[in-house]
Amino acid sequence: MRRSGVAPRSLAYLVVETKHVAKWRDFAAKVLGMQPEDDGRGGLSLRMDERCSRIFVSAGERDAVIATGWEMADVAAWAELCDRLRESGLAVAVGSRDLAAHRKVEGIASVKDPAGTCVELIHGAACAETPFTPGRSLSGFRTGPLGLGHAVLTVSDIAAVAPFYTDLLGFRLSDHARRPFAAAFFHLNSRHHSLAMIETGEDGFHHLMVELDSLDDVGQAYDLAQLEEGRVAVTLGRHSNDFMTSFYMRTPSDFLIEYGWGGRSIDPESWQAFECVDGPSLWGHERSWLGPEKRAEALRFRLEAAAKGLRAPDFVRSGDHQEE
Ligand code: MBD
Ligand code: FE
């Protein structure tokens, strides 16, 4: 079924406010392998690809994600979506030239989702004049038409927030789960999810996922992260729905970054949403953010998945090891 009207193409960027700009610079370059550049206002632009910035780190008094940025195909699609939001009674603020200049886009508008999270809609994101230079040796981030990665919100009630993203913005449901925690996953392109919500009882921001071109990039970051006390928030594991092999790190700003590889590509035209009953992970992903009872339940799901032989499609096929 085709969605009527326009929707964003992908996740363009994340905006973070922080008291810890210096810590962010270090963490971004040395562990994440991003390219930090001064934004001229005491903050940073973090590059991950040809774009001028994928994460805006603004100097401020809070430590929080203050906006997600979503990319429209062109100015016409952008204007159409802004009109649709206004017609449904929402306050859509067209951003100033100053804001557009900071975000390095041609046009920007912002609107609040029902949980109060600021959603920025943009068109015409600028590319840098210089090639991307990673902060440590790595193969690269998987972005392009798939966008920056995925953003995961914590919400008190998924049913209260999801219709804003699906009915108004045009996100489509990929799948949902009830246990060990309620979660819903939404796509815009062939990335399995560009947005997800976890029902924790609190409205906030849970994690940003960035995907690497090589599994070794992830493993090498895992070594680096483990050198620091408390950096790793979720151990290495593999998700059962998008097949991402990943681990999660604490950032200097109290939300997590999932660092992954091997996410599946879906066909958005033919995809059918379903309920995921096998738990969130095929193996690993011991979650420090979950309470002890939910962690025990998550472990039972993983052991069942293992006993059933659930696994993601792999690149090394049976027989590859046989000698000629
Ligand atoms: C994900 O990327 C994720 O972060 C969670 C919690 C579950 C499935 C896929
Ligand atoms: Fe994730």
Given a contact cutoff of 8 angstroms between Cβ atoms, the answer to whether 213 and 143 are in contact is: no
The ligand 1 site (C-beta within 6 Å) comprises 152, 183, 209, 239, 241-242, 244, 258, 280
C-alpha distances in Å from residue 159, one per residue of 28, 151, 166, 175, 197: 34, 18, 11, 14, 10
Residue 2: what pLDDT?
42
* Fold of domain 10-131+140-308: 2,3-Dihydroxybiphenyl 1,2-Dioxygenase; domain 1 (3.10.180)
Integer Cα distance of 271 and 200 in angstroms: 27
Which pair of tokens denotes residue 108?
Answer: 């920007």
Residues 6+ apart with CB under 8 A from 2: 269
- 98 Cα to the center of ligand 2, angstroms: 32
This prediction's pTM: 0.96
Q: Which of 163, 210, 207, 155 has the alpha carbon at shortest distance from 186?
A: 163
Specify the residue with its C-alpha closest to ligand 1, atom 9: 239
Given a contact cutoff of 8 angstroms between Cβ atoms, the answer to whether 198 and 154 are in contact is: yes
Q: What is the mean pLDDT of each run of 10 residues along the chain (324 residues)?
A: 75 98 98 97 98 98 97 98 97 97 97 97 98 98 98 98 98 97 97 98 97 98 98 98 98 97 96 95 95 95 96 77 62
Given a contact cutoff of 8 angstroms between Cβ atoms, the answer to whether 107 and 101 are in contact is: no
Residue 1: what pLDDT?
39
Integer Cα distance of 272 and 244 in angstroms: 19
Integer Cα distance of 84 and 105 in angstroms: 21
For ligand 1, mutation pick of 239, 242, 257 (most atoms within 8 Å of CB) = 239
Specify the residue with its C-alpha closest to ligand 1, atom 7: 280
Q: Which residue has the tokens 């005491």?
A: 42
| Closest ligand to Cα 242 | 1
Specify the residue with its C-alpha closest to ligand 1, atom 5: 280
Given a contact cutoff of 8 angstroms between Cβ atoms, the answer to whether 240 and 282 are in contact is: yes
Rg of the chain taking only CA atoms, in angstroms: 19
Three-point CA angle 62, 152, 21, nearest 5° = 30
- 106 Cα to the center of ligand 1, angstroms: 32
Residue 249: what pLDDT?
98
Residues 6+ apart with CB under 8 A from 99: 108
Integer Cα distance of 26 and 3 in angstroms: 42
| Domain spans of the chain, in order of start | 10-131+140-308
Integer Cα distance of 278 and 117 in angstroms: 30
- At residue 24, the 3 state secondary structure works out as helix
Give the number of other CB atoms < 10 A from CB of residue 169: 24
Residue 10, amino acid: S
Specify the residue with its C-alpha closest to ligand 1, atom 6: 280
| Closest ligand to Cα 238 | 1
